Amino acid sequence: NSAKKGDLIYVPSSVYLYNKDEFGSTKEYIMLDEPVTLLVVEVDEKTYEVLHNEQNWFVEKREVYGVTS
């Protein structure tokens, strides 16, 4: 999976989105009830930062799929 900033990714249901504190530890998380398509706002080595419900979250790259048009 090699999405870039500005791409859309498909995130299946039951995947966790999480936020990090200033030390990089998880400070809050949610589990998706249904699949969603999210906008990638930043790319790290193992995660995507995505926009969900007007808030930025992190998701593991191995949990998501690219969206083809």
3 state DSSP class of 61: helix
Q: What digits encode the pLDDT tens for the residues 10-35?
A: 999 999 999 999 998 999 999 999 99
- From CA 33, how far away is CA 55, in angstroms rounded? 17
Tokens of 6: 């500005």
Say what the pTM is. Answer: 0.90
